[in-house]
Amino acid sequence: MSAQHTTHAAHGHGGHDDHHDDGPHSTLSGYMTGFILSIILTAIPFWLVMAKVIADRNTAVLVLGAFAVVQIVVHMVYFLHMNGKIEGGWTMLSTIFTVVFVAIAIAGTLWVMFHMNANMMPDHPQVAPAGQQAPAAGGAHHSAP
């Protein structure tokens, strides 16, 4: 007999391998709670945009972004059944790592794209090469023979 079976036999399980883990337990009430929260978290931002409740664009983006983050958390908890107890916390740890990695990638991409215009397209006047005359602003010019 293996050590695992010996341990189970010692606890009065009668040799049955009934493992009671803290894995996800799906119930209709849990799914309905998540579904109703998802509908609410979709309807409110839709109403905010369609009724033009928030006039300032930056404020609207921040509010809608906050609703999106809450919606993601609702989906992770109610539909993906993620919490800190499943698989010893490794699922949550890998999710946190993924979120941090994606945030760094998005922030870096936005930073590069924002600064690329300023660094790649300077507003310097066109300087003619040495020994040549700069073209006239009016288009074609005629030189005397």
d(CA 34, CA 82): 13
The pTM of this model reads 0.56
| Lowest mean per-residue pLDDT among 5-19, 53-67, 119-133 | 5-19
Average pLDDT over residues 61-79: 92
18-26 contacts: CB < 8 A, separation 24 or more? 22/85, 22/86, 23/81, 23/86, 24/81, 24/86, 25/81, 26/81
What the block records as the tokens of 43 is: 């309807």
pLDDT value at position 47? Answer: 97
Smallest Cα–Cα separation from 72: which of 29, 119, 38?
Answer: 38
- pLDDT, one tens digit per residue, over 30-52 is 899 999 999 999 999 999 999 99
Please provide the average confidence, as pLDDT, over all residues in the chain.
Answer: 78
The residue ranking higher by pLDDT, 132 or 49, is 49
Q: Return all residues near 141 (Cβ < 8 A) that are at least 6 apart.
A: 135
CA-to-CA dists, residue 10 to 3, 16, 17, 18, 37, angstroms: 10, 12, 13, 14, 45
116: confidence class by pLDDT, cuts 50, 70, 90: confident
Could you tell me the residue ranges of all domains in the chain? 25-81, 84-118
Position with higher pLDDT, 105 vs 95? 105
